[in-house]
Structure 1
Amino acid sequence: MGIIKERMTKVYGEETAERYTQIIETMISNARKKQTAKKKEKWDEKDVLLITYGDQIYRDGEKTLKTFDDFSGKYFKDVFELVHFLPFFPYSSDDGFSVIDYKKIHENMGDWNDIKKIEQNFRLMFDFVCNHISAKSEWFQEYLKCNPEYDNFFIEMDKDTDVSLVTRPRTHPLLSAFDTSCGKKYIWTTFSDDQIDLNFENPEVLIKMLDVLLFYLEKGASWIRMDAVGFMWKELGTACIHHEKTHEIIKLFRDAAEQAAPGAILITETNVPHKDNISYFGDGTDEAQMVYQFPLPPLVIYTIMYGDSTVISRWASNLEVPSDEVTYFNFLASHDGIGINPVRGIIEEEKILRMVKNLEQEGALVSYKKNTDGSLSPYEINSSYINAVSKKNDTDDIKVNKFLNAQAVLLAFKGVPAVYVHSILGSQNYYEGVKITGMNRTINREKLEYEKITSELENKDGIRCKIYSKLKELIKSRKAEKAFNPDAEQKIENYGSDVFSFIRTSVDKTEKILVINNISDKEVSLEIPYEVKRAVAAENSTTEGNHIKLDPYGFTWLEIK
C-alpha cells in the first residue's frame, strides 16, 4: 500500500481512501511539474528568518510588497536568509488570519509577481491557515446559501450540544449562530465567529486544503507554517486538540509536500505545553520537520526578570529531538502574544502568576482563556519583547542591553532562529493601536511608514538604530559559525544562577563555541575550564585568557578548544 493511501485509510477508512488516493497522487504529480524554486536540501547555521507582515512597511500610493522589497533590499538583505510572510491574502479580521481567498494576495499588498521578485533575495515561508476560513469567504457564503457542493464543509451542532470537554483558546462561545437559506445553524468557531472551522471529516475539505498547500509550494514557499494546526480534527467526547487523526493529516501533508517539492519544510504552530508540542515531531521522520519552541519566549523573560538561570538551564538540559531530521523553530517575539501555557509544568503556577502580575505593572497587557470549570487563567502576555524584558524606568541603554542579551540566547540556542520584524527594528509598545482596534495583540503589530522608520534607523542616537545595528551584526556572527548549525550538539554549562551558559559543538566536532549570558543586574567574573581560541561575538564583556568579566546583561560567544 502506498504511503498516501495508508494515511487516507487511517483517517477515513479503506473505501474512502480507495476513492481519493489517485486524485491526491495526480495533484502531487501536477504540482511537482510546476516547481520553479529549488528548495534547500537541509537547514544550516545560515538559516535565520525574519517574521513580518506583507504590509508591515508602507508608502502612500504604493503596494506594500513593493515597499517591503525596497526596504528589505536596504536593511535585511544579507542579514536574513528567509522571510516568513504572515498571511498576505484577502482577509476579514485578525490581521490576516481570517482568510477570504487562499490563492489571492491582498489588493493593497500587490500580487504574486511581487512575491516572485522578493524571492530573488530571500527564500520564503508562507502561512497555511488550515484550521479555519473567513465567514466572508466564498466557501462559507455558498454554504449559507445551502449550495450542496459545500455540504459538510463546516461543522453544524445543535445549540445545546455539550462541548464542555473541548479545549478552548478563547472565551467566546464555541458555537456561533448563522442564518442560512435552510434556517438557523450553529457552527463550530474555535477562534471567533468570523473564523469558521473547516470540517476535515469531509474528505472534500482535505482535498481543497491539500490543493492550497501544493499551490503555495508552486508559488515559491520553501517552508510552510501550519497555523493553529492542533485543532483540525473534532470529535465530541474528546478535547478536540492533538487528535490522532490531526497527526495523521499532518503526516499526509508532509508526504505530499516532500513528493511535490523535495526540501520543503512543514512547521507546526501549537501554542501548548511542551510535551504536547513536541508530539508533532511524530517519530522524527514522518510528521513536522520543525515545531515552534513556545517555552523559550516566556522562559527568557522569566530568567531576565529574576536574574536566575536555574529554571531555563534545567529545561534546556532535558531538551531533545527524536532524530536529526527535525529541529526546533526558535523565536522570542511574533505577531501573537507571549504564550503562558507552554511553561506550565516548567515554571510553578504561583511563579507564573507573579511574573504575569509584574509584567502588567510594567505596562504589558494580558489575555485570558476560559478553563473547563469556567474559571479564567492568563493565556498570553501582550507586549513588544523589548518592553517585556525591561522596566519602564530603565534607561535606553539598559533596555538595549537586556534585549540584546535575550536575542543572543535566541541566536545561539539549538534550532533555527526567527526574528520578528519589530524586534530588529527596535519597536516598543504600541498602545495607540490597541485603543484603535480594541485588540491586545495590536500592541506589537504597528504598521510603519517608510520614510519615518528609515529616518529613525539612521538616527545613531536613537534606540531603533542601536538595536538594529547591534542585532544585525550578531546575526551575521551567528551565520558564520558552523557550531550554530541547528543540528549541532548543545550542552548546558553551570557557572551559577546569574549566568546562562551552554556549549554548541559542530556536527563534524571540529568547532566548539561557549555561550555565556549574564542575566543579572550585577557584574559577573568567572574562570572557565577551557582554552579560548577566539571571541566570536561579545557585548559588554571582556576576555583575558580563561578569565571572563561580564557587565550587567553582558554576553560573549567564545570558540574554545
Structure 2
Amino acid sequence: MRKIKQLLASIYDEKLNAEAIEAFISVIEKSKKTIATRRKEGWDETDVVLITYADQFHHQDEKTLKTLDGFYQNWLKDTFSHIHLLPFYPWSSDDGFSVIDYHQVDPVAGDWSDIARLKQSTKLMFDFVCNHISAKSEWFKGYLACDPQYNNFFISEDPATDLSGVTRPRALPLLSPFTLADGRQEHIWTTFSDDQIDLNFANPVVLLAMVNVLLHYLQEGADYVRLDAVGYMWKTVGTSCIHLEKTHQLVKLFRAIADEVAPGTVLITETNVPHKDNISYLGNGYDEAQMVYQFPLPPLVLHAVHTGKATALSQWAASLNEGAKGNTTWFNFLSSHDGIGLNPLRGILPEDEILSLVEQLQREGALVNWKNNPDGTRSPYEMNVTYMDALNQRDSSDDERLARFTLAHAILLAFPGVPAIYIQSILGSRNDYAGVERLGYNRAINRQKYSLTEIEAQLNTEGSLRQRVYQQLAHLVAVRKSQAAFHPDSQFTLSSENDAVFAMERCSASGERILALFNLSNAIQAYPLSNYEFNELITGQVIKGDQLYQMQPYQVLWLHY
C-alpha cells in the first residue's frame, strides 16, 4: 500500500489529509479480501481478443448477453481467448461511451449474472470510461440540482478563458452551457460532446468514486481493463490538457491498485495519438499500462496495401523493438468500433500522403471526421469505414477482397504483441450506410447489429464472402496459436529484399523461426529464399529454399524452419 499512498500524495501535491488517504486504503483493502478470481500472468501466442458489443446480436426476447454467449460458444470459442465487451452499462449516446451508471449492466443486455456466465468460458476485457460520464447520469443530475455531494465533480470554466491551446479531438465546442437549479448558467468542460461530461479528478472525491468503479470491475472478473480516452483525464488551464504528468500519475495509481488487489490484471491505455505519446503510457515498463493500443498499425497497413509498398510500414515497425520494455507489449488491431485514426500517422507519413490516403478512401465510399486545430484550420482525424471496404475498391471481386483482407489480418496476427479482431471483421461486414442514415453519425458505418437468425444463415451460406472470411480468419488464428514463435514477446526482425514485400522474422525463445512474407502488390513478386526447407504453415506445403520464390498478388507465406 506504500506505493498507493505515495501516488495519492503526489497527485494532490501533498495536500491530501490522512483521513482522505485512509478512505482510499480502506476500500482497496476491502476489495482485496473479496476478489478471488486469479488472472493469467502475462500473455502468450494463444491470446487473441474479440472486440464486440454486448448487444451485437439479438434473438427473440432473449437478453443480448445470453445471445452473444450462445454465438460465442457455437462460432468463436475455439478462436478467441478473450472478449473485449465494449461498454455494456446503461448509456445515453455514443453507443455506450456516455455511461449513465458505471456499476450496472444495461437491462437490454442482461445483468451481472450474464457477465459471470460468459466469463466461465472466456477471459473478459471491460471498458473503464474514466474521462467522462453521461449528462443523464445521477452524478451530473445531482450537480445540476446543486446537491453538495457533487460539488466540484465537474469542471466549470469561464467561456472568456483562453483555451486555444487545449488539444481538441473533435470539431465540437470544448465548453457546453448548462443551467443549474438555482438559475446560474455554467459552462462545463466536455471534451467529446455535450452528453459526455468530463470528470474533475482534481477533486479527490471524484477519484475515490472512480477507484470504486475500477475495483467493482475487478470484482466482477475483468482480466483486461481498457482505460478509455485516458490522455485527457487531468486539466490544467494554460496547457494542452492532454498527457499531463498528473494523468500519468493517475494511470500509475490504477496500475498499483490492480496489482495490489488482482495481480495479473492487464491495463490497456486507449490514446489515439502519435506513436511517441502513445508509448509514454508504458511508463518505465512496470509502473503504468502493460499494453497500449497500436494505433499506427491500421492506417499503415492500409497505406501499404493501397500503395503496394512496404517502406513506411517497415520503417515504423523497425522502431517497435525500442518501444515496448519491461513487462509490456502491444495491443494490436486493424479495426474497432471507432474509425481508423489518422493522428497516429502524423510524424510517420508526410501530411500530403495522409491526405492522399483520405481522398482515396473517400472516393471508394469512406466517411471522414474532422478536428479543429489551434490555428483555426481543421484536419481529418478519423476515417469511418469497415476494414473490408477500406482495403478494396467498389468494383473489386470477392476473391480480391478476400485476398487483401487475409493479407492484412495475417500481418496483424504475425506482429509482436497481442492481436484483437473486431466482430465486424470476422463476420466479413461491408459498409452500413443505412445505419449511418438511421442513426445520424459516421461511426455507425462499422457498428451494424444483427439478428442471430439472419447472421447465422449468412455464415452458413456456402461460398458467401462472410463464410469465406470467417473460415479464413479462424484458420489463421488457429495457426498463430500453435506457434511459439508468434509469442507476443518473441524476437522480431525485418528485412527489405523487395519493397513490395513486407518481410518479418519471428524467433521463439527455444529457437523456432517463422519467416512471414506478405506481397502487398497486385503483381507477382520474386523473393529470395535461403537454403532451408520451409514448412508453409497456412497451406501445409513444403517449400524448398535457395530460390527466387514467385509470390502471387497479395499472397501470404508463414514459413516455419
**Amino acid across the alignment from 2:283:** G
**Amino acid across the alignment from 2:475:** E
Contact persistence 2:525–2:552 (CA under 8 A):
yes
- Residues 349-378 of structure 1 show CA distances to partners (whole Å, capped at 9, x for unaligned) of 001101100000011001100000111110
**Amino acid across the alignment from 1:487:** D
**Amino acid across the alignment from 2:477:** I
**Cα distance in 2 between the residues matched to 1:309 and 1:296:** 12
- The match for 1:376 is 378
Residues 213-252 of structure 1 mapped to structure 2, 5 A cutoff: 213-252=214-253
**Cα distance in 2 between the residues matched to 1:18 and 1:58:** 50
Contact persistence 1:132–1:196 (CA under 8 A):
yes
- The match for 1:71 is 71
Normalising by structure 2, we get a TM-score of 0.98
1:161 aligns to 2:157 (yes or no): no
- The match for 1:485 is 487
Q: Alpha-carbon deviation of 1:172?
A: 1.4
Residues 237-316 of structure 1 mapped to structure 2, 5 A cutoff: 237-316=238-317
1:444 aligns to 2:446 (yes or no): yes
Contact persistence 1:538–1:557 (CA under 8 A):
no
Q: Alpha-carbon deviation of 1:330?
A: 0.3
**Cα distance in 2 between the residues matched to 1:72 and 1:549:** 39
- The match for 2:86 is 86
**Amino acid across the alignment from 2:381:** Y
**Cα distance in 1 between the residues matched to 2:466 and 2:113:** 31
Contact persistence 1:290–1:327 (CA under 8 A):
yes
Contact persistence 1:4–1:21 (CA under 8 A):
no
Unmatched 5+ stretches in structure 2: none
> Over aligned residues, Cα RMSD in angstroms?
1.3
Contact persistence 2:534–2:543 (CA under 8 A):
no
Relative to structure 1, is the Cα distance of residues 322 and 309 closer, same or farther in structure 2, using a 3 angstrom cutoff? closer
Contact persistence 1:8–1:17 (CA under 8 A):
no
- Residues 251-309 of structure 1 show CA distances to partners (whole Å, capped at 9, x for unaligned) of 00000011110100100000000000000001111100000000000000000001000
Contact persistence 2:535–2:543 (CA under 8 A):
no
- Residues 466-487 of structure 1 show CA distances to partners (whole Å, capped at 9, x for unaligned) of 0000100100100111111111
Contact persistence 1:542–1:550 (CA under 8 A):
no
**Cα distance in 2 between the residues matched to 1:407 and 1:105:** 32
Pairing partner for 2:431 from 429, 432, 435:
429
**Cα distance in 1 between the residues matched to 2:438 and 2:290:** 38
- The match for 1:418 is 420
Contact persistence 1:152–1:202 (CA under 8 A):
yes
**Cα distance in 2 between the residues matched to 1:17 and 1:69:** 46
The DSSP-based 3-state class of the residue aligned with 1:185 is strand
Residues 102-121 of structure 1 mapped to structure 2, 5 A cutoff: 102-121=102-121
The DSSP-based 3-state class of the residue aligned with 1:51 is strand
**Amino acid across the alignment from 1:333:** S
Unmatched 5+ stretches in structure 1: none
Pairing partner for 1:501 from 500, 503, 513:
503
Q: Alpha-carbon deviation of 1:29?
A: 1.8
The DSSP-based 3-state class of the residue aligned with 2:108 is coil
**Cα distance in 1 between the residues matched to 2:124 and 2:560:** 32
Contact persistence 2:294–2:330 (CA under 8 A):
yes
- The match for 1:51 is 51
| Percent identity over paired residues | 49
Relative to structure 1, is the Cα distance of residues 538 and 241 closer, same or farther in structure 2, using a 3 angstrom cutoff? farther
**Cα distance in 1 between the residues matched to 2:177 and 2:513:** 59
The DSSP-based 3-state class of the residue aligned with 2:247 is helix
Q: Alpha-carbon deviation of 1:17?
A: 5.5
- The match for 1:549 is 550
**Cα distance in 2 between the residues matched to 1:322 and 1:501:** 20
**Cα distance in 2 between the residues matched to 1:203 and 1:432:** 45
- The match for 2:8 is 8
Pairing partner for 1:335 from 323, 334, 337:
337
The DSSP-based 3-state class of the residue aligned with 2:29 is helix
Q: Alpha-carbon deviation of 1:24?
A: 1.9
Q: Alpha-carbon deviation of 1:21?
A: 2.6
- Residues 520-556 of structure 1 show CA distances to partners (whole Å, capped at 9, x for unaligned) of 00112322125134222259x9833344332110101
Relative to structure 1, is the Cα distance of residues 397 and 23 closer, same or farther in structure 2, using a 3 angstrom cutoff? same
**Cα distance in 1 between the residues matched to 2:502 and 2:134:** 44
Q: Alpha-carbon deviation of 1:35?
A: 1.6
**Cα distance in 2 between the residues matched to 1:66 and 1:550:** 45
- The match for 1:179 is 179
Contact persistence 1:199–1:205 (CA under 8 A):
yes
Contact persistence 2:65–2:109 (CA under 8 A):
yes
- Residues 70-93 of structure 1 show CA distances to partners (whole Å, capped at 9, x for unaligned) of 111001101100000000000000
**Cα distance in 1 between the residues matched to 2:542 and 2:358:** 34
Residues 456-471 of structure 1 mapped to structure 2, 5 A cutoff: 456-471=458-473
- Residues 39-84 of structure 1 show CA distances to partners (whole Å, capped at 9, x for unaligned) of 0011110000000000001112111001001111001101100000
Contact persistence 1:365–1:382 (CA under 8 A):
yes
**Amino acid across the alignment from 2:210:** M
Relative to structure 1, is the Cα distance of residues 529 and 275 closer, same or farther in structure 2, using a 3 angstrom cutoff? same
Q: Alpha-carbon deviation of 1:494?
A: 1.5
- Residues 19-48 of structure 1 show CA distances to partners (whole Å, capped at 9, x for unaligned) of 333222222221122223210011110000
Contact persistence 1:532–1:558 (CA under 8 A):
no
- The match for 2:23 is 23
The DSSP-based 3-state class of the residue aligned with 2:102 is coil
- Residues 436-474 of structure 1 show CA distances to partners (whole Å, capped at 9, x for unaligned) of 111000000000110100001011211000000010010
**Amino acid across the alignment from 1:21:** I
**Cα distance in 2 between the residues matched to 1:483 and 1:119:** 28
The DSSP-based 3-state class of the residue aligned with 2:16 is helix
The DSSP-based 3-state class of the residue aligned with 2:259 is helix
**Cα distance in 1 between the residues matched to 2:304 and 2:529:** 22
The DSSP-based 3-state class of the residue aligned with 1:171 is coil
**Amino acid across the alignment from 2:49:** L
Contact persistence 2:258–2:265 (CA under 8 A):
yes
Normalising by structure 1, we get a TM-score of 0.98
The DSSP-based 3-state class of the residue aligned with 1:537 is coil
**Amino acid across the alignment from 2:265:** A
**Amino acid across the alignment from 1:321:** G
The DSSP-based 3-state class of the residue aligned with 2:66 is helix
- The match for 2:211 is 210
